[in-house]
Amino acid sequence: MSETVQMKEQLLTLKAEALDVLEKVGTPKELDELRVKYSGKKSALTEILRGMGKLSAEERPVVGQVANEVREAIEEVINRKQEHFVREETNARLQAEKVDVTLPGRPMPQGGIHPLNKVIEELEDIFLGMGYRVAEGPQVETDYYNFEALNLPQNHPARDMQDSFYLTEDLLMRTQTSPIQIRAMEAAKGQAPLKVICPGAVYRRDDDDATHSFQFHQIEGLVIDKGIRMSDLKGTLLQFAREMFGEQTEIRLRPSFFPFTEPSVEVDVTFTKKNGERVWIEILGCGMVHPKVLEMGGFDPEVYSGFAFGMGVERIAILKYGIDDIRHFYSNDMRFLKQFSRI
């Protein structure tokens, strides 16, 4: 038997064996093993082809053609089986991941507005109704806007309770929203009337307890125009108190001291305890804008006057909702927060 005939028979025998085995393969792992066995670098097909060097130039194309046919037939079956396994795997994954659209929907829990945001929005609505506009400013402030422009020069004793979180010698986390008032005055360039409220977070050195926090929220107000008097301030605050706490609310003004207002007062409101007792509760500080502050803000104190006030949002919320601990606002306790979801 010639070398050519023998190699052709070996190739055809290999083809028949490979196709029979490949048709019966049952797993991707078995298919990979058979791929190596029948078409890899060390496969029987490769071994047969290495013997083609012994053939004459005329015989090699004949054997080469048969070898190519065998290789193509084996690879065709391997590819077909591979596609089959891929389809099976995809179908199985889709079956496992399919969604039953006939199932009832899962209700999404509905959130609510945080009680502090509720109070801020209510305060804004009250003062917007009086003709104010909302002004905002940076929480990282300069010493000038936070203190000096508010008549609190370096080494002023009133700074002691507010010198808090400094980032540099000149930058600190604002201790009040009053710097926004100065920025609003500068933006007005000495032109009145000016009526703004300034809500936002502030930071002071303080120990956390039921009534104090190193971070809290303020909302301050500023009015500047010709002929503004203390009576305008009192009427504004009485209107605010009655809209926030009820028409029966009364206010009381007590003399106090703030470097940026003169005269200055603290304001109390009437409050009814759970036992029915009616008491006075302090809620804010205010006064007529100090002439130096007017001047530093770009207004002529000989022509214009104004009043300013500031209150803690947390204190208003505590009174409005009967909350006994300021830390509840920041604990993210859902049991607490859910109480306000329908308010």
SS3 letters across 78-98: HHHHHHHHHHHHHHHHHHHHC
124 marked as binding residue? no
Q: Residues forming the annotated binding site?
A: 262
Q: Residues forming the annotated binding site for Mg(2+)?
A: 262
